[in-house]
Every structure is written in structure tokens, then in C-alpha cells.
Structure 1
Amino acid sequence: MSLLNYDADRLAQFTEEITHKYEELKGRNLALDLTRGKPSAEQLDFSNEVLSLPGDNYTAADGTDCRNYGGLNGIADIRSIWAEVLGMPVENVIAGDASSLNIEFDLIAWSYALGNNDSPQPWAKEETLKWLCPVPGYDRHFTITEHFGFDMIPVPMTDEGPCMDTVRELVKDPAVKGMWTVPMFGNPTGVTFSEKVCRELAAMDTAAPDFRIMWDNAYAVHILGDEFPEIHNVVAMAEEAGNPNRFWCLSSTSKITHAGSGVSFFASSKANLDWYSSIANVRGIGPNKINQLAHAQFFGSAEGVRSLMRKHAGSLAPKFNRVLEILQQRLGDYDVATWTTPEGGYFISLDVVDGTATRVVQLAKEAGIALTAAGSSFPLKQDPNDRNIRLAPSLPPVEELEIAMDGVATCVLLAAAEKAARQA
């Protein structure tokens, strides 16, 4: 029976028990953090070898001295490896510096200030700007379009990706300039877009000629098991459908080697890359080719990337499994929460009783457990149902993670019992 349907006596007894358990939790004076999807120290150690590279061998395969200026599009050594990882031709892939999020910001900012290669005018001159935001989604994505004043339109997610009936209707509006996506092992749901959805996104008609899909494939190789899913070449799909410039595809090594000191990648059509490079060439003289060469030597090949990611999976999977076990053990009998069971990525999406997510986060904070703020996975941090909480199991050791998740479960139950009492 759902906790929300308990009779008055049973609810009062349960509330007394869970309140006592919560007070015990507060008495432990915890300081635990589940807020961000950071790699653990063990994961970071997997790539320590890259810190000693490239050593005295600083010449790229084509003879480029990586210590010098130039090479705006990055060296072929790393571009060829990542092109194979993404299943794309190397000429469609540019290698940059550490953060793909920086490139995403640039793509929006340059389109806003200058217009992109399909824009009738700079986006800043448009009367209204709108952007589609599949939800729950990635908070830092939404912050970028919020920064530039876009009206952000939530789009519900399905098990195959964004609801395409909704998307197709919304893109009939010429003010809709683009859409955020995390197409594989999404943040925070873990959803991977189906081939059907990918092809529909590539082929759909849009009123805006400069409509773009930000295809942030941040977790393309972040498996939790043994199998790497197929990475769909949406650039080729869009070209076949007559919309060659639709996708801006991003990826990086930020959670593969060392965060903040890796390599980012931008993959797209030739026209999009030419437009991007024409502005990037004004902004700077080229990326950190020494770091790109170090990564190319460290990986060796696309299979080298996959081999490293199997090590990451070996570190992450026990943590994810333990979180799921605790959620089931503590919450499974009360019908007050649902959660995703991802096959990759960095997050578990937890939905609690409507109207209680903010209270759960507050209770957890008071007990010394830091959670991502309720609503963070929605534009403007406004979850209309106040139900979604993003869990990030990667950073703490398993022992701390068990304590934190047992505490989170207690907070979920207490918040649900409080709501049930109010409704009684």
C-alpha cells in the first residue's frame, strides 16, 4: 500500500518512526556531497600517465611541431581517434581545448551576436528567441540559453528521447532557434535516443532556417556494463534528409582523463565548421596541441579509449548498483518514489512525491547531505511538479555513498509522510 494511503493511526506511527530515524541521522554530523557528477580519485588515477606525455616526442604524425602556434582545427592524431569513436569522417571533427561546454557557449554567443551560416540576421536582432529544453535535462545547458534571454520551452522526455510529436509542433514557430540534447546516457535520466528519434530530428521541417540541435554527446562512451552502444552519425543522417547543417555535435575527454585539462571536440557539417573556424580564428591562434598530442599518445587508438572506459565502468558500476539497491530496499514498499536504472552516464534521476522534492533536499542538507537543488534539471530551475532530484553517485567511496543514500531515503520518506499528514 502507498504510504500516502495509510490510515491516520498507521501514518502517525510511521511518521514517529521515520522522524526518530531522521533525528539519528542528523546526530551523525555528516558532511557528504552528491551534488555533481565528478569522477572519483580512483577514476582520475587511471589517466595519470597522460601527465608525463608527450615527453620529448612533441611532433605530430604529420610533422607539426606541437609546441608552436597554429593548427586551428587541432592535430589529426587526436581528431582521427575521436572521429572513429564517434563514427564520423575525420574531416567533420575539430579538436579544441578542455571544455565542450565552452564551445557550446561560443556557438550560442556567436549566433546571437553575428548569426550563424544559415541566419538571415544575428539572433540578437530577432524580436523573440526560443529554445527547446527536453526535461529533465542538464542544468548548465539551460543556464547558457537563460543567459542570452531565450524563452526556454520544456519538452517531455520518453524512453527513446524527446517527445517528437511535441518537438515537431514547436519547431513550426520561426522563433524556435534550437534544442538542447544529451543523446546518450542523458543527464540526468540516462536515456539514449533511439535511431528512430535521431532520424526524425534530422528530417523534421523547421520554420527557422538556422535552427540548430546542440548534440552534446558527453557520455557517448561512459558505459556501466561491457557493451558500447552504437553512436548514430546524425550529421550524415541530416545531410541525407536535406538538412546538412542541423547538428552541432560536441564531445570531450573531461570525464575520461582529467576534468579541466582534457580535449574537446566539435563535429558538424563542413559549412558549420567553416563558419565556426572563421570566428575562432579571430578569437585565438590555435588550441593546446601539446595536450592533444599527449592524449593521442595516451589513448593510442579508439580501442584504447574503450579500454580505458571499461576501467571507469568497473569503478562506477558498483556505486550505481548500490544506490539502486538502497532505493529499492528503503523505498520500494512505500510507492513514494521512482528512479531510473541507467546503463551508462553519471546520474540517476529520482522522482519523489509531487510537491516534496524541495523539502527532501532541505531535510538532506540539514542532515549534512548535499544534493543538487530541486528543480535544477528544468529551465530556470523550476520543476512544475517539484518532484525531480538528480543523484550523482560517482565521487564518494562506496562506504560514504551507502550512508548518504540511506539518509536520502529517510528524507524522502519523511517528506512524503509530512505531505500525507497535511492531506489527511
Structure 2
Amino acid sequence: MPVKLDQELFQHMLPQQANAYQLMSDAELNAALEAIGKEAQEVSEKHLALDMARGKPSPEQTALSRPLLDLLTSASDLTDGASFADNYGDPDGLPSARALAAELLGVDPAQVIVAGSSSLNLMHDVLDMAYTHGIAGQKPWAQQASELAAAHPGEKLKFLCPVPGYDRHFRITEYYGFENVPVPMTEHGPDMKYVRMLVEGDSTVKGVWCVPRFANPSGVSYSDEVVRAFASLRPAAPDFRVMWDNAYAYHTFARPGETCAPLMNIFDALAQAGRDDLIIEFASTAKVTFPSSGMAWMCASEKDIQEIRASFSVRRVSPEKLLQLAHVRFLKDRAGLEAHMERHAELLRPRFELVERKLTDGLGKLAVAAWSHPKGGYFVSFNGPVGSARAIVSRTREMGVKLTSAGATWPSGNDPFDSNIRIAPSYPSLKELSQALDVFVIAVKQVAARLAKVDRGQYAFGDR
């Protein structure tokens, strides 16, 4: 049967007290709405056209990697040990690229495949392999899904989706017909008691999506306890896999001296737990160098990587080795990548500090919202009053600022609380970001005040 959403598990994400508008008298609330309306009108007359919809690196960030483009010329040596970047071969990636990825992940290069520039593509291909041909010697997921539906009409295979989470993850499993089951995020990572109950008690649960460091969009990094809990899972399904998307492993913008604990190595945790075939880890240089023009990699246990390698061999003769060679020569090693990411941090830090300042100054005393305070990654997770997110996003758009769609951080875009909004501050300039946040704050105040009127039966929400 489909998993019934227990809304109480997610209540901690929402604002926890009555907000200022709910506590106002009718006269005070009317005056507040009038003042906010004047602010909104002034902003609308500026005819802004600002975009905060996706977490893209800014032009200043991609400019940091331009020297990479000068490293390969017609006169360059294109050899990589016994390998050649200008010809076929090395289906698992150039040796130096695999060694770099292994150093960054803390694993053996034999466990690593480097291919393409998008880790999302690799995730899709692994899911596709399991769906069409199976994994761990089990029946293909497509066959299992068909047999399940025949025996129990309406029932589907399931994939766990920590929320708020990454919409593109959810789309992959939705595309393959899974029931995406929301799992609540805490300040330490997913609610592992709930995860364990589902994974160990239901063989139709086939996987879970994870962004373990600076999660999209909350910025939460999994605690050692949560990492160990994942490594210690005893799934009811032998073909259950944890999709460990370590996209922001080195994307900290914490100030020097600030505490920013490293993520525990999941493969070390697996070894300590005596586990093996459970984790498939992914990462890329998408937000390190050039999005869509870098290198992506994955690693897994020896058995899993052999199955994946066999599947990939049908699809690929050779990866994009020239890009791999250029990246290795540019980044060199972990120390080189960390130094490069500190330059990114100098550009990202003021943007996130601006978000914190604008939200605190504009909304902090009103108690209408709660938001995350990340030390890395690319997003801030914002929760307004129940029933507000779609109206806030719409009102913000009307005033000239485009945000990620409300509900995007939940499977199928269905946020049952209509509360969560993903804020992506990386791409706009500081001036544009300041303007966009001013608009956002006005929209939040206006919608929250209107909701207070609705609660009193004095207002139809569509009214102006």
C-alpha cells in the first residue's frame, strides 16, 4: 500500500509560534496591509526582472576556472601515463582523473568511474540499469514493479526522498514509476528512525536519495551518527541502494575559524559496520569549474561497480578524456581543489550573509517564517506560514523576481503544507540579490498578513 504521510513528523520544519499579524487587532492589521501594499506598489513600478530560480554559479565564479581553458593546446602532451587522452580507451576514465576523484572521496581508484560532466546523468544511468536489468543479482525493477502491481493493484516500488530535497532527484524516480516517499529532514540529516522502519520493514523500498553535505536546499550536513546509521541499515530488499550524491563535498563558505565539521566517509562507516554493497556515491566538478563542461564520477563496492561497469560498457566506448586531462592539470589534487573552492567561498559568502541579514531585518521580529543558516552549499531553505508558499512565489514574480517553484522541494511538487521555498542566492550580483530579497520580504509580509485576515474570515485570499 502507498505510504501515508504522517504530517506530525514534518511539523518541526514550520514556524512554531503565532506571528505578529495574527496577534494584531483588526485596525493594526489593516494598517499593516496598507503600508505593505504601498511598498509593493513602489517595487512594482521599478519593473524589475531578476532571476533567483536555480542554484547556478555566478559569472565571477565561472571566471575563476578560465585558466583551465589554456592548459590544452595543439602542442600539448596528451598522454596520461600509458593512456592517451586523444583516442579511445579508458572506459572508466583517465587514470589521473580516477586517482583525483578517489582522493577527493577517500576511496580506492578501483572503485571509481569517471564519465561525462553530469553526476545526475550517472545517477539516471544507474537507476536505468537496475530498472531494466536488475542489480545485486535480483530481478529488474521493471519486472518487480509489474509483478507487484499484478498481485497488489495500485501498489508501486518505493524510493525514499528526504524533504526538503532536490527536485531533479525526485523526477528520476518518478519517471521510472516509483512512489516517492517523503522523509523528514532534521538538523542532523534524515530522520533515521523513520528511514530504518521503512527500509528494514518493506522489501518494496528500493533506495533513498541523499545529499549528505550541505544538503539541497537546507544546507544540513549529516552527523556522524546519521552516516553510521545509513551504513548500518539492513534492508529488507537485497537490491536496496543509497544514492549518496555528495555534490557539495568541498563547497563550504564558512568564515576562517568557524566550525564546519567534515562529513564522515560513508565507505569507512560501511567497513566499520561490516557492510559492503549498499552505497553508490556521486560527485562532479559542476560547481567547481564549469557546469556541463567538467567531469563527473561515481564509486561503489567491488560487486556493484562491476555490474555498473558492464552496463556502462554497452553505452560508452570512452569518456570525454580531454576535459578530464585539463581538469586534472588545473586542480592537481585535493589541496589544489580546496584552494580553488576558497576563491569560490569569497564570492558566495557575502551573498549568503546578505540573505541572512535581509531575512532577519525584514522578517525576524514578525515570527512569520523560519529559514536555514547554511555554512556551505548553494541554497537556503525557507518556510513561511502554512498555505503561503505558492502565493509568495506568485506575488514575488508579479513584482519582478523569479523564484524556484513552490513545492519543488517535495516529490511531485506537492508540499502538503504549502510552506517551503528554496532560495538560490549564488547567481545574481550583490546589488541584484539585495533588490530580489527586498521584493521577497515584501511578498512574505503581504501574504502572511493576508492569511491573518483569511483566518478571521475577513478576506478572500485572491483579493487585492
The normalised TM-score by structure 1 is 0.98
In the alignment, which of 379, 389, 393 is matched to residue 361 of structure 1? 393
Matched residue of 1:384: which SS? coil
Tell me if structure 2 keeps the 8 A contact 1:236–1:244.
Answer: no
2:182 aligned residue: 154
In the alignment, which of 118, 138, 143 is matched to residue 166 of structure 2? 138
Q: Tell me whether 1:200 sits opposite 2:224 in the alignment.
A: no
Q: Tell me whether 1:222 sits opposite 2:246 in the alignment.
A: no
User: Which residue type is aligned with residue 143 of structure 1?
Assistant: R
In the alignment, which of 124, 142, 145 is matched to residue 105 of structure 1? 124
Identify if the C-alpha distance between structure 1 residues 276 and 58 changes in structure 2 by more than 3 Å, giving closer, same or farther. farther
Q: Tell me whether 1:78 sits opposite 2:110 in the alignment.
A: no
Q: Tell me whether 1:309 sits opposite 2:327 in the alignment.
A: no
Matched residue of 1:165: which SS? helix
Deviation at 1:85, TM superposition (A): 1.7
Q: Superposed, which structure 2 residues align to 1:18-417 within 5 Å?
A: 18-55=36-73, 56-116=75-135, 118-126=136-144, 127=148, 128-171=156-199, 172-225=201-254, 226=256, 229-417=261-449
Matched residue of 2:84: which SS? coil
Q: Partners in 2 of 1:284 and 1:75 — Cα distance?
A: 14
Q: Partners in 2 of 1:35 and 1:374 — Cα distance?
A: 11
Q: Partners in 1 of 2:324 and 2:297 — Cα distance?
A: 11
Deviation at 1:280, TM superposition (A): 0.8
Deviation at 1:370, TM superposition (A): 0.1
In the alignment, which of 35, 49, 61 is matched to residue 17 of structure 1? 35
Deviation at 1:119, TM superposition (A): 4.1
Matched residue of 1:336: which SS? coil
Deviation at 1:49, TM superposition (A): 1.2
Question: What runs of 5+ residues in structure 1 fail to find an aligned partner?
Answer: none
Tell me if structure 2 keeps the 8 A contact 1:58–1:65.
Answer: no
Deviation at 1:236, TM superposition (A): 3.3
Tell me if structure 1 keeps the 8 A contact 2:160–2:205.
Answer: yes
User: Which residue type is aligned with residue 371 of structure 1?
Assistant: L
Tell me if structure 2 keeps the 8 A contact 1:29–1:368.
Answer: yes
Q: Which moved more, 1:363-372 or 1:73-82?
A: 73-82
Q: Partners in 2 of 1:278 and 1:85 — Cα distance?
A: 25
Q: Partners in 2 of 1:69 and 1:228 — Cα distance?
A: 42
User: Which residue type is aligned with residue 310 of structure 1?
Assistant: E
User: Which residue type is aligned with residue 181 of structure 1?
Assistant: C
Q: Partners in 2 of 1:332 and 1:358 — Cα distance?
A: 21
Q: Partners in 2 of 1:298 and 1:85 — Cα distance?
A: 15
Matched residue of 2:234: which SS? coil
RMSD over equivalenced CA pairs, Å: 1.2
Matched residue of 1:224: which SS? coil
Q: What is the CA deviation profile of residues 271-328 of structure 1, one whole-angstrom value per residue up to 9, with x for unaligned ones?
A: 1111111011111101011110000000122111000000000000001100110000
Q: Partners in 2 of 1:57 and 1:300 — Cα distance?
A: 17
2:461 aligned residue: none
Tell me if structure 1 keeps the 8 A contact 2:213–2:248.
Answer: yes
Deviation at 1:386, TM superposition (A): 0.4
Matched residue of 2:365: which SS? coil
Tell me if structure 2 keeps the 8 A contact 1:87–1:232.
Answer: no
Deviation at 1:77, TM superposition (A): 1.1
Q: Partners in 1 of 2:169 and 2:384 — Cα distance?
A: 24
Matched residue of 2:294: which SS? coil
Question: What runs of 5+ residues in structure 2 fail to find an aligned partner?
Answer: 1-18, 149-155, 457-464
Q: What is the CA deviation profile of residues 137-183 of structure 1, one whole-angstrom value per residue up to 9, with x for unaligned ones?
A: 00000000010010011000011110011001111100000000000
User: Which residue type is aligned with residue 193 of structure 2?
Assistant: D
1:3 aligned residue: 21
Deviation at 1:50, TM superposition (A): 1.3
Tell me if structure 2 keeps the 8 A contact 1:58–1:293.
Answer: no
Q: Partners in 1 of 2:314 and 2:418 — Cα distance?
A: 44
Q: Percent identity among equivalent residues?
A: 39
Q: Partners in 2 of 1:29 and 1:316 — Cα distance?
A: 27
Q: Partners in 1 of 2:70 and 2:311 — Cα distance?
A: 33
Matched residue of 1:157: which SS? strand
Tell me if structure 2 keeps the 8 A contact 1:54–1:297.
Answer: no
Matched residue of 1:332: which SS? helix
Q: Partners in 1 of 2:434 and 2:287 — Cα distance?
A: 23
Deviation at 1:101, TM superposition (A): 0.2
User: Which residue type is aligned with residue 230 of structure 1?
Assistant: P
Number of residue equivalences: 423
Matched residue of 1:132: which SS? strand
User: Which residue type is aligned with residue 318 of structure 1?
Assistant: P
Matched residue of 2:446: which SS? helix
Deviation at 1:228, TM superposition (A): 6.4
